[in-house]
Chains A and B, each alone.
Chain A
């Protein structure tokens, strides 16, 4: 009896160890807490088969406009037949007194065979916060993490 319980516990532990903590989706993205974006700057990351919809918190540092560019490159050169995965970039405003319920998204394009690129531009006020989701069109279509890629988010603010 004890042996069977121990075997079950071991199997459960193994299952937990080999399974991803969770599989996220576009409605439940995964926060990348250690890489917030404050004003202009860059962050890098990667999508995986357990985290396909990572998001970074962006806080505007000035009144004006912001441009958020997302670039993707393959983890392995041979992935996706050697072509970079098409990015999927979404920005959602964190509600405040003056602003709520806004979102922008783009499926981007394959800029060249090795790089995918997506761009969003919108108005900001200093202190406003946004959720920036860096995913792939492939993940979006499949509604789950389905491809892996490296990504870079380049945030450029212009005062107005």
Chain B
């Protein structure tokens, strides 16, 4: 159910973003409609590639998304309570890598944050009120990958940087 919701939410978010002017081209000329089974030669939202990297506040990680490995998951365990910003940045103007982040609170199994990047900066910024000791999955992909359905082949091929940083904000 949750996976279905996540997948639906992902697609819906992107479609909605496009409807509001993002202008992503959802056409995939390389789609092989002859195949019916889900591809097993590339990762996905349900099967992201685990980087096994624990994000530490203030430390940036450079990496690359390539066709077949277009979903990376990082991990973050908050040491203190407070707001943190998860950020992903890719080169502005990149033809097939528009930054996209999902932050999953596994303990609650129901809280999901998602953000899509600013086209001018290609920077995606998701702010979360983290709880000390709680672990979060930080899923990095592209808008293009998040739009894929069925057997469509990943096209995203480009570098990105991901980080988590404390945010100095207190709400009354």
Contacts and interface: CB of A to CB of B under 8 A. Distances in A.
Q: Which 8 A-B pairs have the closest CB atoms?
A: A101-B22, A121-B127, A109-B110, A101-B119, A103-B17, A27-B19, A92-B20, A65-B169
B74 to A, nearest CB: 19
Contacts of B12: 26-27, 105, 140
Nearest to B23: A101
- Dominant SS at the A interface? strand
A98 B127 CA distance: 19
Interface of B: 4-5, 8-9, 12-13, 15-17, 19-23, 83, 108, 110-120, 125-129, 167, 169-172
B142 to A, nearest CB: 13
Given A119-B129, A122-B127, A140-B8, A106 B113 contact: yes
Interface of A: 26-28, 64-65, 67, 86, 90, 92-95, 98-110, 119-123, 131, 137, 140-141, 143, 156, 158, 160
A3 B166 CA distance: 74
A27 B15 contact: yes
B114 A100 contact: no
23 contacts: A26-B15, A27-B16, A65-B171, A90-B13, A92-B17, A101-B21, A103-B13, A103-B20, A103-B114, A105-B12, A105-B13, A106-B113, A106-B114, A108-B111, A119-B129, A120-B113, A121-B127, A140-B8, A141-B5, A156-B171, A156-B172, A158-B169, A158-B172
Nearest to A94: B20
Contacts of B170: 158
A113 to B, nearest CB: 14
Nearest to B8: A141
A101 B17 contact: yes
Given A108-B110, A120-B113, A100 B21 contact: yes
A95 B9 contact: no
Contacts of A104: 113-115, 126
Given A94-B20, A108-B111, 9 more contacts: A27-B16, A90-B13, A99-B120, A100-B22, A104-B126, A107-B9, A123-B127, A140-B5, A160-B169
Contacts of A65: 127, 167, 169, 171
Nearest to A27: B19
A155 to B, nearest CB: 11
Nearest to B13: A105
Nearest to B124: A102
B6 to A, nearest CB: 8
Contacts of A94: 20
Contacts of A110: 110
A104 B87 CA distance: 13
B13 A67 contact: no
